[in-house]
Amino acid sequence: MTQLVRLAAFLIAPALTAQSLRVLSEFRRVDPFGEIVPQDREGRPREILSPLLARNSHSTFRIVVEAPPGKIYYFYVVDSPANILKVTVYKEMYTRVGESWVPDLLVEIKTPYISHVPDRYHGLPNQTAESFLADVFVPADAPPGRMKLDAQLHFDKRWIIYPMEIRISDVVAPAAKSHAGRLPPLEARSDAAALGPLRSYLCGAAEPRLDGPLSARWIIRRNVAEDMALAEAREAELGKQEVARGILRGLGMDAGKFCAAGRVESPLGPEWYLRGRDFLYRGKIDP
């Protein structure tokens, strides 16, 4: 299937079938009704089309399926060429937080995954969406370059495809010292899970070595901890001040202001951190 046909399938099929497929960053959580949860709505969601990934580290994408009630669908995550990436797919489980339902706890699934909404777990009669995480590990010896990673649905004799062109950087991240630490409350904005590893690296803030059940918050924290191992390695090349400035460019502040701040705000919303990740994976600050 050519890229043009693949893209057409993505754009046209949802309109024909009242079913849709979206890919978002790990910082945009989506409720069982297809809406980004209120605390993660600020800023414009980043388009996930051609993400840059570092080697020896994880990158995570949220995949949201919306479907008519009671209709069976088949969900796939397909990488090509095969056997380069290590892709683990999780179904996100919802927890009631006030008036909202927030995805967090994770159940590993195998694809193709057969499902429908309302799903078999939550008993929500008005549910229209299911949320999945594709957790992608790029081995240290993966060849730099481009490859495909597609989210795919087969529904009512039609295919819906969300194509991504993965760009594997020549950057190899060192192993993170630890992924364990305190997680923020579920009602906090998603980027709160990034702050522990950030403050540990940038501010020297000690963290308790806590661990818990596998969750979307834990995944975000682990990814940022891996990024901070790469940041530490970048210091020899750029110096810590320049590395800190690159990591925090989505906030527009230096490490001193960040460490003194009680909370962080950015017009980019919770995805401000992705600008810092881009810097680490490229190793430079774009003009």
**CATH 2.60.40.10 residue ranges for the chain:** 3-172
Domain 3-172 in CATH 2.30.29.30? The answer is no
Q: CA 78 from chain center: how many Å?
A: 17
Query: Is-above-0.85 flag for pTM?
Result: yes
The pLDDT assigned to 215 comes to 96
Closest CA to 224 of 158, 267, 180, 263: 180
Phi-psi region of 29 (alpha: psi -120 to 50; beta: other; left: phi over 0): beta
- Amino acid in position 102: V
Structure tokens at 277: 């990740």
The pLDDT assigned to 284 comes to 55
Q: Tokens 């057409």 label which residue?
A: 8
Beta strands in 42-191 (DSSP E): 52-55, 57-66, 73-80, 86-97, 100-109, 113-115, 129-138, 145-155, 158-172
How far is residue 175 from each of residues 231, 239, 283, measured CA to CA in Å? 12, 20, 17
d(CA 111, CA 89): 8
Closest CA to 24 of 102, 133, 103: 133
- Residue-by-residue pLDDT tens, the chain, 287 positions: 444 434 444 443 443 346 899 999 999 999 999 999 999 999 999 999 999 999 999 999 999 999 889 999 999 999 999 999 999 999 999 999 998 999 999 999 999 999 999 999 998 989 999 999 999 999 999 999 999 999 999 988 899 999 999 999 999 999 887 777 789 999 999 999 999 999 999 999 887 777 778 999 999 999 999 999 999 999 998 999 999 999 999 999 899 999 998 788 899 999 999 999 999 998 654 44
